[in-house]
Structure 1
Amino acid sequence: MSAPAAGMDVAGQSAVGEIKRWIAGYLRRHPLASLETVGAQVILAVQAVRYLCVDIVTGQFPFREFVQQATFMAKTAVVPTVAVALPISATMSIQFGLLAGQVGATSLAGAAGGLAVIRQVAPLVTAILLAAAVGSAICSDLGARTIREEIDAMEVMGVSALRMLVVPRLAAGILVAMGLTGLSCFVGFLGGYLFNVYVQNGVPGSYLATFSSFATIGDLWLAMVKAITFGIIVTLVSCQKGLSTKGGPGGVANSVNAAVVASIVLLMIVNAGFTELYTLLFPRTTL
């Protein structure tokens, strides 16, 4: 074999080896790391829910921390939630009005928009804003405590960081998510009603009558179940990312970014599953 051919063969083998190493590193860094993260979040969820139930029954629940966290979450997310729910309800009213006008069912436009607000918009808007505003704050707080070794110090002293920090945040996240979802339902429905009546010249009685024909109490229960689930997801993902922070202040920023992105992606997936399951279990055939 000539020298140039041997050199090309060695270069080819080196390139193939580099590609194999890159693929192995990618598989180790991303899919396997994702599985590890999901496993850690599931373990944290099981332990947090168990401690929440046990602490409430035994009277060891950190009520003061719970009140502080719930107050902080509500103050942080209530204004953005209302500010987002209003324009989204107006936008949906416009779209449903245009679609209903094309098929000659203008009287049903407002009711369909109000139903969509309760089933989809209210819980999802609340969850996304919780992930963006509240989840980032939870992750940054716990991440800063982690890199300052406060969490390790608590464990050394025999104080469970899970029971003192994660459990009250979980309870507060569930409560605030339910409250904000109810507020979003009211604001979204009211915004759609006012926009339909005063901007699109809809009939108020028709709006309310058709909405009562479409909506059922099960739709509100669906919104509340979504709110509880979304509150658990946002809180636990943010706590897990914060408690696993590494790398100093830069690691805190990376954890916050990862927590917000992971929460929103997971919320979308779970919301699609909830919607499909509810449609299969409780089909609507007539008004």
Structure 2
Amino acid sequence: MAAPSVAPHEITGRSATGEITGWVRGYLRRHPVASLETVGSQVVLAVQAIRYLVVDIVRGQFPFREFVLQSVFMAKTAYLPTIAVALPISATMSIQFGLLAGQVGATSLAGAAGGLAVIRQAAPMVTAILLAAAVGSAICSDLGARKIRDEIDALEVMGVSALRALVVPRLAAGIVVALGLTGLSAFVGFLAGYLFNVYLQDGTPGSYLATFSSFARVGDLYLAMVKAVVFGIIVTVVSCQKGLSTKGGPGGVANSVNAAVVASIIMLMLVNAGFTELYTILFPRTTL
């Protein structure tokens, strides 16, 4: 007895439906689930690294030499790009604030608006993005290369914790360098805004400084410093986690570096928005 014939379009329809369903299931496994696993591993790594950092400092076992080497490397890598980016961003903000203040008849407030924007927003974000692009990529490529050469596994076999020997000093260096570069970026940004307002927009030096000192608060600097610490932790932890999870040879190192930079910048933007909103709610500014 002959088998029942099946129309070609029915076979095509079933196979297409199966392929679409399989692709959707695979996408959910590859992206949302993998993203949650990655974030979870980064949180665990951050908690362990901070705990070991405190314990090693208290016990006198902190790898100070590696910390100094990493700090010098990070500072040398990022300070020139930070200055180069802070100058045009601050100048652009000064120009825009000056034009807006002139349109509403509040030219004297240009110093307050520009200076506060630089300290509270521009300086920490410029520093964090440059850390992610320059320092984070270097950290990830270094640890990724060690991973594919089995150096990390060799350390573990010899009883040396890769987390304490490699991640902890980089975390401490990232925090210190982020604080220093944020202060440098704030100074350069404020100076650039001042020069543009006074010499290119015919502003008054005394008015610029007076309005800034009237509206700026110590809490604004504290906010910038807290942001710098958190941003330094984020960049270092994400870069270390991506480097230590590298697979697939030299091509895998390149993929890890790309993923580390992108993930760091996205997380920095989200955390910065949360910090800004929380600070605005907790410490509302009554007049400006």
TM-score by length of 2: 0.98
> Is 1:17 paired with 2:23?
no
Q: How big is the shift at 1:202?
A: 0.3
**What's the Cα RMSD here?**
1.1
Q: Secondary structure at the match of 1:18?
A: helix
**Consecutive unaligned residues in structure 2, runs of 5 or more:** none
Which residue number in structure 2 is paired with residue 280 of structure 1? 281
1:225 aligns with 2:226: yes
Q: Distance in 2 between matches of 1:219 and 1:73?
A: 26
Q: Give the secondary structure class of the aligned counterpart of 1:61.
A: coil
Report sequence identity in percent: 83
Q: Give the partner amino acid of 1:123.
A: P
CA deviation string 1:195-242 (max 9, x = no partner): 110111100010011001111000000000000000000000000000
Counterparts of 1:191-270 in structure 2 under 5 Å? 191-270=192-271
Rounded to whole Å, the distance in 1 between the matches of 2:196 and 2:100 is 16
Q: CA deviation at 1:159?
A: 0.2
User: Which residue of 1 is the match for residue 130 of structure 2?
Assistant: 129
- Structure 1 residue 2: deviation in Å? 8.4
Whole-angstrom distance in 1 between the partners of 2:26 and 2:51 = 36
* CA distance in structure 2 between the aligned counterparts of 1:250 and 1:104, rounded to whole angstroms: 57
CA deviations 1:177-206 (Å, max 9, x no partner) are 000000111110011001110111100010
Q: Which deviates more, 150-159 or 6-15? A: 6-15
Task: Provide the C-alpha distance between the structure 2 equivalents of 1:254 and 1:182, rounded to a whole number of angstroms.
Answer: 32
**More displaced stretch, 134-143 vs 10-19:** 10-19
**Once superposed, which parts of structure 1, at least 4 consecutive aligned residues long, lie more than 3 Å away?**
none
Q: Confirm or deny that 1:186 pairs with 2:187.
A: yes
Mapped to 1, the partners of 2:167 and 2:237 lie a distance apart of 8
Instruction: Give 1:6 shift.
Output: 2.5
The normalised TM-score by structure 1 is: 0.98
Residue identity matched to 2:186: C
Match of 2:56 in 1: 55
| Aligned-partner residue type, residue 31 of structure 1 | P
* Aligned residue type for 1:39: G
Question: What letter is aligned with 1:268?
Answer: M
Corresponding residue pairs, total:
286
Q: Which residue of 2 aligns with 1:114?
A: 115
The equivalent of 1:163 in structure 2 is: 164
Q: Are 2:40 and 1:42 aligned? A: no
Q: After superposition, what is the alpha-carbon deviation per residue over 1:233-268, rounded to whole angstroms, capped at 9, x for unaligned? A: 000000000000000000000000000000000000
Distance 2:202 2:116 in 1: 19
Which secondary structure does the structure 2 equivalent of 1:30 belong to? helix
Superposed counterparts of 1:98-113, under 5 Å: 98-113=99-114
SS in 2 for 1:206: helix
**Which consecutive residues of structure 1, in runs of 5 or more, have no partner in the other structure?**
none
